[in-house]
Amino acid sequence: MAARVTGALAAVAAVAAVMLADTATATNSGERALVVGEVRFGALFAVHGAPVEARAGSRCGAVREHYGIQRVEATLLALDAINADASLLQGVALGAELRDSCWAPPTALRQTIDLVRDAITPAETADDADHTRNQISANCSQGPGTLGGSRSISSGRAPLLGVLGPGASSAAMQVQNLLQLFSIPQVV
């Protein structure tokens, strides 16, 4: 039990370091925490407050310790507990991609676009590269629509099962409008 708590605390410290990076220079487009798994869910948490200026690319506001950080910590602890219990997912490692929505609908939408883009862009493996080079002959010999290659989840592109958040209703509606285009469920 102590090892799991220590592992979870190390993960929280790593996420805090990434998401609490110097807010004076950080913009709201690149901060994320990734827990690798065979499948994953996305999460949009308001780790920072809304940007002071209402323009594209504005810096996020101050850190929201009690709202944003606590949700990140709770998610990581729950994820650790789920993955530690072999009877729950029976050998499937659940991953997550946590992103900062900065309590602003435009930022939440940008972060969702990044999640969706990563989910729908196929990961290329060495197997895929070989098949791409020989695609014409492979298609002719195996029939249409078959390449015979395997996809690798070690590249960090595990399937996106759904998105948790964001907490603000106005942002949640915009995020849902995008997610429904790709049949990705949202939990708010």
141 DSSP 8-state letter: H
Q: Domains (ranges, CATH) in the chain?
A: 2-139+156-187 (3.40.50.2300)
Strands 94-100 and 32-35: antiparallel
Average pLDDT over residues 114-131: 70
Q: Phi and psi of 9, rounded to 5°?
A: -65, -35
More confident position, 109 or 16: 109
129-173 residue pLDDT tens:
454 444 434 434 444 333 333 333 334 578 999 999 999 999 999
User: Which pLDDT band holds residue 79 (cuts at 50, 70, 90)?
Assistant: very high
* Helices (runs of H) and strands (runs of E) counted in the chain: 7, 5
The pLDDT value given to residue 120: 85
Highest mean pLDDT out of 4-8, 85-89, 116-120: 85-89
Residue 98: how many other CB atoms lie within 10 Å: 26
Three-state DSSP class for residue 125: coil
Highest mean pLDDT out of 9-23, 77-91, 122-136: 77-91
